Chains A and B, each alone.
Chain A
Amino acid sequence: MLEAIGARSIDDLFAPIPAEYRLNRELKIPRQMAESEIVDWFQQRSKENGSEYASFLGAGAYMHYRPVIIDSLISRGEFLTAYTPYQAEISQGTLQAIFEFQTMICELTGMEVANASMYDGSTAAAEAAMMAVRVTGRSSVVVAKSLHPEYREVLATYAHHQGMPLATVGYADSGRIDPKELERTITPETACVLLQSPNFFGTIEDVAAVAEIAHNKGALLVVSIAEAVSLGIVEPPRDADIVAMEAQSFGVPVGFGGPYCGVIATREKYVRQMPGRLAGQTTDRNGKRGFVLTIATREQHIRREKATSNICTNQALVALMVNIFMNVYGKVGLRELAKQNLAKTAYAADQFGKHAQILFSAAPRFNEFVVKTSEDPYVINGRLLGHKLVGGLPLKKFYPELGNAALWCCTEMTTRTAIDTAAGMLAESEAEEPSGDRAVEEVAR
């Protein structure tokens, strides 16, 4: 091939790189490994990563069962190794799948249009807030303190250079957003109210009431949904103007935090302010139904610095996992699945409530609840680890005002045995007088 090109050596082809910058040694990285060695190396890492533990962690990353056909289907090379479907004639598989995904997200969220995906729930929430700013021509955002703390951090990062002031509204004793404080915080410059439901504590918000407060003052309502399975049995936020969702619960591995699947859904009238790719239906020259990426004039490759967002690559293959999951459970199964989550959580909250305080019990919840103990939850979790159980997320780091509180999560995967074991350990610890001199084992961040 060199001969065909007319080059004497490979180095000839790299002549454009000034000699003084060329690397004249091998890279200092691990040596080439055989496939068997690679599998072995990662198997070791897998074992060092809690592969034998049952977990009560949720907080934006939920362990639900993943039907096996998800991986069978997404492993097909035609889905796995295809690019963004810009060449519609040879991408109809991906495009039709996106169109169906958009449809199902609309059905579930009560919105009229949904995009093809965003990076995750946190960036979807931040981009939804920026979208509300474009729609209303107002500048600021009112955000619930019960929105996932890491989503709030991402929002703050994005807002910082957008001239988008943020105001935070606290939660009431019910765990829901404080309506009086919300009234007071919305100003004529508020573009939107951003809250999560079920919120970070698992509490289901009264979306209709919040929508009324926001709309009366000319602001939009953006609802973030981090636990998609809730949509099987919890009324969707039909009064919202934008829904910013994390669909990880629908068949996506917890996977140490990613890749996940963000989505934005909204009203038809706002579609041209929406970020991200959209698939639309059209016809070919013979009148046959087909699908294309559409309304691309919002996007960076056309509009450059005037685009609605800089997003290009999204989470397409993960959206396909979500899509397949929604098909597997469908209209009836999603409700039954959500009902099992509800039952496990109700049982766990009852059991834990015998020995410790369950906060925010006045409002309904989905699959998470906050347990307040007299003992430091890090210490309790340290003991649970010995029983191959990972306890709830201590909330001190995010909500110091809640003291020794932890966020526990149950899904259909949580067994009664695990719940009973954890409740038993909690009973033991709460029966004892908390001793100040016990060394706190730092088991979480």
Chain B
Amino acid sequence: MKHPTPKATRHVNQNEGLIFEKSSPGKAAWKLPPLDVPEVDPAKLLGKAERKDLGSMPEVSEIEIIRHFTRLSTWNYAIDLGMYPLGSCTMKYNPRVNEVVARLEGIANGHPYQPEKISQGALRIIKTLSDCLLEITGMDAITLQPAAGAHGELTGLLMVRAYHEAKGNPRKKVLIPDSAHGTNPATAAMVGYAVENLKSNARGMVEVSALEAQMNEDVAALMLTNPNTLGVFEQEIHKIAEILHAKGGLLYMDGANMNALVGKVRPGDFGVDVMHLNLHKTFSTPHGGGGPGSGPVAIKKMLEPFLPKPVVISKPDGTLGFEYDRPQSVGRVRSFYGNFGMFVRALAYILANGPDGLRETTEDAVLNANYIRKGLEGTYDLPYATPSMHEVVFSDKLQTKKGVRTMDIAKRLIDYGFHPYTTAFPLIVPGALMIEPTESEGREELDLFVEAMKSIAQEVEEDPQTILDAPHTTRVSRLDETAAARKPVLRWKPA
């Protein structure tokens, strides 16, 4: 590398094949206890339903499994290795105490159908987390059932639709700004709404006059991310809410960026009617390589009858229980009560922070994003000068002159020991570099990041080919995604 970095260096990396390639008959990693009841003859019990062959399922030893997955793990980048500045994804530190409490016996092994009187611990966790989230959002009621953010969107819009239906007209469409996450329009379609695009203005915000012109009695709701995907707070949020409410529409807030607001401002106070939270973003539950998430939906009073069932209630005797008799409910969106294990982790995070800690967390997240913005302004093009909250969006405009695009810069960042930022999103910024450091980073890591980004910008000028060929230090170079999609190989097959 022309510009070495103090952040990372090369070291030996183990090769490892597919587990099937290590399999051979007779190897095993399991042992069952002796059976304390009589043996049975499967052929007799199952008849033709008996399975005789498990195909090419692997046969491997325990140490082979340990080594296999340990080796694979070393091929991943992770927050535990360093800054993971994926804008909008909020890759913050995942406290380990969360993992410990989620594995306590009664919490990990409680059965969802066990009697309520021996489920008070789980119910108390659900209730306490719900109360905390309601206070944080300034909303009136909540469901924790949705399994992820997009699932929360679905649940929220189902409630919006049920609300309008109860008033006699489900309405026809949902307004969605052009800066929105792809899940927003996909969700609206699943609930039977047409999607109408709302153009952003020169400051990267919803153009209030455009909203006014587009708003009518066919609009069920506006789905708005705030701060939006540019990391910009929608300053005219109160006017936006008024315009919607005047014509009977509802304001849905995508809470993907709630980590910019916690303890500083509450969506319920600025006119939001329904919103989802991502416990795996704002509340530190681990992303785990793509999930599990959890997407609670908080609502205002008028939407309460439509909550998914069951709902947790306090009973006259002081115990907690589930209420199923909810005639106006939108129904269930998931079996049982949602991703309970994530509730445990999110609540542990809230308890570890308390009111002051949560507020400081938000402040640090915004401070860090602005520190990076200041550090890289001038080096990279800043398409919107509007103040940034928890993330900052640059563009590759200055670098495209040399034929280098955002994805190339992202790949080069890997060589500097960082995970790339979010590329090519939001769609309103051509060649976007969306950077979100979160509160987890100290100044030293932020300085290394700024230094790396500046060094890459210099490399673009001096030797763009190095960037176009990046990454140079990973165990595989750029992978052929086109071939993967054209002739999909989605499973291993025996030779």
**Residues of chain B in range 334-377 having any CB-CB distance to chain A below 8 Å:** 334-342, 344, 348, 350-359, 363, 366-367, 370-371, 373-375
Q: How many residues of A contact B (CB 8 A)?
A: 189
Q: How far is the CA of A42 from the CA of B344 in the complex (A)?
A: 8
Looking at A19-27, A166-174, A180-188, A424-432, the stretch in contact with chain B turns out to be A19-27
Proximity bits, A318-336, B CB within 8 Å = 1, else 0: 1010001011111111111
**Residues of chain B in range 9-39 having any CB-CB distance to chain A below 8 Å:** 16, 18-20, 23, 27-30, 32-33, 35-39
Q: Is the CB of B37 within 8 A of A4?
A: no
Q: How far is the CA of A419 from the CA of B38 in the complex (A)?
A: 13
Q: Is the CB of A83 within 8 A of B84?
A: yes
Residue A243 at the B interface, CB < 8 A?
no
Q: Is the CB of A256 within 8 A of B190?
A: no
Chain B hits for A114, CB < 8 A: 490-491
Q: Is the CB of A324 within 8 A of B65?
A: yes
Partner of B109, one of A2, A104, A255, A364: A255
**Residues of chain A in range 105-119 having any CB-CB distance to chain B below 8 Å:** 106-108, 112-114, 116-117, 119
Partner of B476, one of A71, A290, A327, A342: A290
Partner of B288, one of A59, A72, A82: A82
Q: How far is the CA of A183 from the CA of B27 in the complex (A)?
A: 47
Q: Is the CB of B119 within 8 A of A50?
A: yes
Q: Is the CB of A5 within 8 A of B370?
A: yes
In the complex, what's the smallest C-beta–C-beta distance from A321 to chain B, in angstroms? 10
Q: Is the CB of A253 within 8 A of B154?
A: no
Q: How large is the interface on B (under 10, 10 to 19, 20 to 34, 35 or more residues)?
A: 35 or more
Residue B108 at the A interface, CB < 8 A?
yes
Q: Is the CB of B39 within 8 A of A343?
A: yes
Interface centre among B186, B354, B356 (most CB of A within 10 A): B186
Q: Is the CB of A257 within 8 A of B335?
A: yes
Partner of A121, one of B75, B79, B270, B335: B335
Proximity bits, A281-321, B CB within 8 Å = 1, else 0: 11111101011101111011111111101111111111010
Residue A136 at the B interface, CB < 8 A?
no
In the complex, what's the smallest C-beta–C-beta distance from B350 to chain A, in angstroms? 6
A419 closest partner in B (C-beta): B37
| Contact A122-B341, Cβ < 8 Å, known A46-B107, A280-B489, A282-B484 | no
Q: Is the CB of B119 within 8 A of A256?
A: yes
Q: Is the CB of A47 within 8 A of B38?
A: no
Q: How far is the CA of A77 from the CA of B12 in the complex (A)?
A: 19
In the complex, what's the smallest C-beta–C-beta distance from B291 to chain A, in angstroms? 4
Q: How far is the CA of A50 from the CA of B346 in the complex (A)?
A: 22
In the complex, what's the smallest C-beta–C-beta distance from A28 to chain B, in angstroms? 5
Q: Is the CB of B111 within 8 A of A61?
A: yes
Chain B hits for A271, CB < 8 A: 488, 490
Q: How far is the CA of A148 from the CA of B29 in the complex (A)?
A: 33
Q: How far is the CA of A44 from the CA of B58 in the complex (A)?
A: 41
Q: Is the CB of A79 within 8 A of B76?
A: yes
Q: Is the CB of B106 within 8 A of A48?
A: yes
Q: Is the CB of A29 within 8 A of B350?
A: yes
Q: How far is the CA of A307 from the CA of B181 in the complex (A)?
A: 13
Q: Is the CB of A57 within 8 A of B113?
A: yes
| Contact A295-B491, Cβ < 8 Å, known A42-B107, A284-B479 | no
Q: How far is the CA of A107 from the CA of B118 in the complex (A)?
A: 39
A285 closest partner in B (C-beta): B477
Q: How far is the CA of A254 from the CA of B195 in the complex (A)?
A: 39
In the complex, what's the smallest C-beta–C-beta distance from A230 to chain B, in angstroms? 9
Q: How far is the CA of A117 from the CA of B125 in the complex (A)?
A: 27
Chain A hits for B367, CB < 8 A: 1-2, 5, 10, 13
| Contact A80-B114, Cβ < 8 Å, known A310-B154, A316-B291, A330-B57 | no
Chain B hits for A259, CB < 8 A: 147, 291-292, 294, 339-342
Partner of B185, one of A6, A18, A304: A304
Q: Is the CB of B289 within 8 A of A83?
A: yes
In the complex, what's the smallest C-beta–C-beta distance from B234 to chain A, in angstroms? 9
In the complex, what's the smallest C-beta–C-beta distance from A40 to chain B, in angstroms? 10
Q: Is the CB of A83 within 8 A of B118?
A: no
Q: Is the CB of B352 within 8 A of A390?
A: no
Q: Is the CB of A38 within 8 A of B351?
A: yes
| Contact A311-B148, Cβ < 8 Å, known A92-B72, A258-B340 | yes
Chain B hits for A55, CB < 8 A: 111, 114
Chain A hits for B443, CB < 8 A: 1
Q: Is the CB of B263 within 8 A of A258?
A: no
| Contact A327-B189, Cβ < 8 Å, known A121-B335, A316-B289 | no
Chain B hits for A41, CB < 8 A: 351
Chain A hits for B475, CB < 8 A: 89, 92
Residue A399 at the B interface, CB < 8 A?
no
Residue B302 at the A interface, CB < 8 A?
no
Residue B420 at the A interface, CB < 8 A?
yes
Chain A hits for B321, CB < 8 A: 445
| Contact A47-B121, Cβ < 8 Å, known A94-B290, A233-B42 | yes
Q: How far is the CA of A18 from the CA of B240 in the complex (A)?
A: 13
Looking at A155-163, A210-218, A368-376, the stretch in contact with chain B turns out to be A155-163
Q: Is the CB of B150 within 8 A of A340?
A: no
Residue B215 at the A interface, CB < 8 A?
no
Q: How far is the CA of A307 from the CA of B492 in the complex (A)?
A: 27
**Residues of chain A in range 29-59 having any CB-CB distance to chain B below 8 Å:** 29-33, 35, 37-39, 41-51, 53, 55, 57, 59
**Residues of chain B in range 468-483 having any CB-CB distance to chain A below 8 Å:** 471, 474-481, 483
For this complex, 18 residue pairs linking A to B, each with C-beta atoms less than 8 Å apart, are A5-B374, A10-B363, A18-B237, A26-B356, A29-B350, A35-B352, A42-B101, A49-B107, A50-B118, A72-B66, A79-B288, A96-B18, A103-B18, A107-B54, A119-B151, A283-B479, A290-B479, A324-B69
Which 5 residue pairs of A and B lie closest in terms of their CB atoms, listed nearest first? A257-B336, A317-B288, A32-B354, A77-B80, A49-B121
Given contacts A234-B51, A339-B42, 8 further A-B contacts (CB under 8 A): A16-B386, A26-B356, A32-B353, A50-B111, A282-B489, A284-B479, A330-B27, A444-B113
